[in-house]
Amino acid sequence: MRDSLMGKDANDYDVTTNALPVEIAECFKDHTCLDFGMKHGTITVIMEEKVEITTFRIDSEYKDNRHPDSVSFTDSLFEDTCRRDFTINAIAYSPKEGYIDHHNGISDIKNKVIRTVGDAEERFSEDALRILRALRFASVLGFDIEESTEKAIRTLKHLLNNISAERIFTEFTKLLCGKNAKYVLEEFHEVFEVFIPELVPMIGFEQNNPHHIYDVYKHTCVSLGAIEAEPILRWVMFLHDTGKPHCYTEDEKGGHFYGHYKISSDIAKKVLKRLKASNSFTDEVSTLVYHHDSVIPTTEKSVRRLIFKIGYPRARLLFKINRADALAQAPGQIEQRLERISELERLAVKINGQNECFHLNKLKINGNDLLALGLPRNKIIGKILNKLLEEVVDKSLENEREALIKRALELKDIL
């Protein structure tokens, strides 16, 4: 009901009833019913879409801070809503009675407040993921967190250690993509330090550099807020400077972070692997973090080399990252930096539209051609092909068969 009351389309519908699971299944016997949630009173009915129908229930203790040890059924909607996490999620609707709001959730929606149902410490102790869910709702909806709810979040943050990495990654990714993520990340960093301790050295770490006006963590949050709400991009901005505190040096010109891109990339891999992100997601984020600080001259040759190295799609993402990074730095040179990034984007679009050769499969000779020239069947074949491709990308060699063969014969005596 929350989304409906906020004028949004609902992603799904959850139905709750005093009917027992067996009665629900009997009622929908002409439809496919999935009963894998039967022990918790939930039947999933397949109609035009999946609809979860759950019997009013009361949860017992949550000894593992994740799941109730057992449930018992009740015929009271009020008792059922008392087990819900937040007041904004405890609103029911009946065609006969309209909205049924036992916990003043409608008022909290109007006032943009996140508040637990009942005692906050009890709710978070039942399922510690609710701590992250509260912060996620604050980020995504732009709501404030009620005082006692906030206090319980800070007090019980350690319970997140009992939650699986997969659940934390999913919830935290949604949080990162919220419109209010910058504020939530700044205000509740100690909560996120529980599962990403790599944040600790960043907090308050001054950069002492004329290009920066924020400490490392503040810069991270501001830059994240400056990029579109897409998971890969938000994770890149969140992790792109994690290596800075580990490579800080200072001279008469101020603070420097030489090589921080590599340390940050390594930390990104470590964090995402620990949170059980997919290999492809981890690779994409860590690669973009690695290249985020690259200085790319505004020439076709330089942009062509970049596309050759990381591919056109990644290059486009990298320019978005560069722009967000610049927007979180000292204001003096922002306009100049943004103009430079726009020129790099223009060159990349132009080069991509020319259908140039950036891959071995577009090279006009292949390994079989080199074997036919009498070259041995060993690693030299791959080395020559890669060198030919590199020279084609640099425009120092034409992607024409005769020119490639001639150059290959020269390279066999060099490589």
Query: For 273-280, which contacts have Cβ atoms below 8 Å and span 24 or more sequence positions?
Result: 274/165, 274/195, 275/165, 275/166, 275/168, 275/169, 275/172, 275/195, 276/164, 276/165, 276/166, 276/169, 277/169
Sign of the dihedral defined by the CA atoms of residues 341, 346, 347, 348, in that order: positive
Query: 60-116: per-residue pLDDT in tens?
Result: 777 777 777 778 899 899 998 999 999 999 999 999 999 999 999 999 999 999 999
Query: 312-351: per-residue pLDDT in tens?
Result: 999 999 999 999 999 999 998 899 999 999 999 999 999 9
Q: Could you count the other beta carbons within 10 Å of the beta carbon of residue 268?
A: 26
What is the Cα–Cα distance from 219 to 241, expressed in whole angstroms? 9
Q: Could you count the other beta carbons within 10 Å of the beta carbon of residue 400?
A: 12
What is the Cα–Cα distance from 322 to 26, expressed in whole angstroms? 58
- How distant is the alpha carbon of residue 387 from its chain centre? 36
The residues spanned by each domain of the chain are: 214-353, 360-411
Q: Are 235 and 222 in contact (CB under 8 A)?
A: no
Q: Are 148 and 120 in contact (CB under 8 A)?
A: yes
Lowest-confidence segment of 18-32, 203-217, 224-238, 394-408 by average pLDDT: 18-32
- Residue 1, pLDDT > 80, answer no
- At 206 the pLDDT is 97
- At 59 the pLDDT is 81
Determine whether 44 is exposed, middle or buried from the number of CB atoms within 10 Å of its CB (0-12, 13-18, 19+).
middle
Q: Are 168 and 160 in contact (CB under 8 A)?
A: yes
- Residue 309, pLDDT > 90, answer yes
Query: 15-54: per-residue pLDDT in tens?
Result: 999 999 888 888 888 888 887 777 778 888 888 788 888 9
- At 105 the pLDDT is 94
- At 188 the pLDDT is 99
| 368: three-class secondary structure by DSSP | helix
- At 40 the pLDDT is 78
Say whether pTM exceeds 0.95: no
What is the Cα–Cα distance from 42 to 44, expressed in whole angstroms? 7
Query: 241-291: per-residue pLDDT in tens?
Result: 999 999 999 999 899 999 999 999 999 999 999 999 999 999 999 999 999
- At 57 the pLDDT is 87
- At 112 the pLDDT is 97
Quick one: tokens of 347? 């060159």
| 15: three-class secondary structure by DSSP | strand
Order of all β-strands in the sheet with 32-37: 14-17, 50-55, 42-46, 32-37
Mean pLDDT of the chain: 94
Query: 194-207: per-residue pLDDT in tens?
Result: 999 999 999 999 99
- At 332 the pLDDT is 86
Query: 371-401: per-residue pLDDT in tens?
Result: 999 888 888 999 999 999 999 999 999 999 9
| 11: three-class secondary structure by DSSP | coil
Contacts of 252 (CB under 8 A, 6+ apart): none
